Amino acid sequence: DRIKLDYSKVLSFVGEEEIAVQREKATKALKGLEDGTCKGSDFLGWLDLPVHITDDELNRISACANKLREQTDVVVIVGIGGSYLGAKAVIEAMSGSFDAYSGTKVVFAGNNVSEDYLYELQAFLKDKKFGICVISKSGTTTEPAVAFRLLKDQLIEQEGVTVARERIVAITDEKKGALRTMSDREGYETFVIPDNVGGRYSVLTPVGLLPVAIAGFDVRALVKGAVDMRAYGKENGAELSATYAAVRNALYEKGYVIEITVNFNPKLHYVAEWWKQLYGESEGKENKGIFPASVDFTTDLHSMGQYIQEGRRNLFETVLSIDKTKYSLQVPCDAHDLDKLNYLAGKRVDEVNKMAELGTQLAHVDGGVPNIRVIIPELTEYYLGQLFYFYELACGISGGILGVNTFDQPGVEAYKNNMFMLLGKPGYERK
């Protein structure tokens, strides 16, 4: 089985002919990706990446993960942006909702510079056997570098230099950057982020795979999902991705400049965060691009629902709809029925959720919000692999339709330069 796309509920907002115009552009954009003539073609390594991952690489990732799992109670994954969100998305999607209270294996740091967060993390790690998986492609990003410096010192203090070295794994560039230099000097085990894969496209490299393996989830199934999606796309001109890209661009042309990714299962919260980075950083440039937003339903129907139903009509929704739940639970019958819920007695909770989804779709479409659905058969590593690849390819195509370089991010430097100047980093005084 595979993920599916349903765009029937956009057709009262844009016609098939308008989508067809974008579809033609999508075909050209796909060709530009496949033959390497698009903008940013130095960064197309993700296209065939899943297919080229070898058994040896996966074995090495599993071996390293198993070693860390045996030696530690908890591993801190240090990274930000593309060096964070893919792993976080899979781990949140696959973990039990209350695992955090029952001996978690993986926590995250380096994705903010909150002093309180780092202080509390250090307090949490005190007297625990912990390890560090530090991830940075450039090896020079401030947020993870600050967190790593603190955590490395703590690890050395708690365990001594030799054990600390064994419990630190770095994922970085093959040759360049401070993290590479440090790893080589200290003898940390390292994994490489390929040169031709950008941060937000790196979830299927060790950047995503090692943390997922450390958390105990199935990286082979994740990769298999992506491989199958690539193979399926090759058979049919990347039908799914090209259609999604064409539909969202047809909507964009009509003034729908905000796309909200919606879930009805909070485990997908970070999948939407990953998607927001992928699309926001890839398309938001040259004063163009759809603004990617996200909500968790039904939670946010009681907050953002009002705006979506009746606010400015410049947004559309893409619902991540999971067909089958993992567990089964029925609404119980109550002799007194004081809450008047007996009409639901015996129904699956998921049926209530599905009807909420359908009811919301009808209401929002009526209210002027076009609706796309991405149907995921089940929440498993395999389908997440399919979903990641589907979205990555669609993003490459969509950026091509828009005419931007999908794979650069010149805009993220501005805040860094100011921060460095304000903090007195040598070389930045005159800026």
The two beta strands, 291-296 and 106-109, are unpaired
CA–CA gap between residue 317 and residue 373 (Å, rounded): 8
Q: Which CB sits closer to ligand PA5, 80 or 182?
A: 80
Measured between its terminal Cα atoms, the distance across the chain in Å is 55
- The H or E element spanning position 174 is none
Residue among 198 and 385 whose Cβ is closer to ligand PA5 = 198
The least CB distance from residue 236 to ligand PA5, in Å, is 29
Query: Residue 131 or residue 144: which is nearer to ligand PA5 going by CB?
Result: 144
Of 240, 191, 281, give the one whose Cα is nearest residue 376.
Answer: 240
Whether residue 23 contacts residue 246, with contact meaning beta carbons closer than 8 Å, is answered with yes
State in angstroms the smallest separation of the CB of 84 from ligand PA5: 8
Minimum CB distance to ligand PA5, residue 140 (Å): 7
Instruction: Show which residues are catalytic.
Output: 281, 416
Gap between the Cα atoms of 308 and 84, Å rounded:
29
Cβ closest to ligand PA5, residue 144 vs residue 233: 144
CB 331 within 8 A of CB 346: yes
| Residue ranges in contact with ligand PA5 by CB under 6 A | 80-83, 136-138, 141, 144, 198-200, 281, 409
Q: Of 129 and 416, which has the nearer Cβ to ligand PA5?
A: 416
Q: Least distance from C-beta 282 to ligand PA5, angstroms? A: 8
Q: Give the integer Cα–Cα distance in Å for 373 and 207.
A: 29
Give the nearest distance from C-beta 148 to ligand PA5 in angstroms.
11
Which residues 6+ apart lie within 8 Å of 308 measured at CB? Answer: 260, 295, 315, 317, 364, 367, 369
Structure tokens at 249: 């661009």
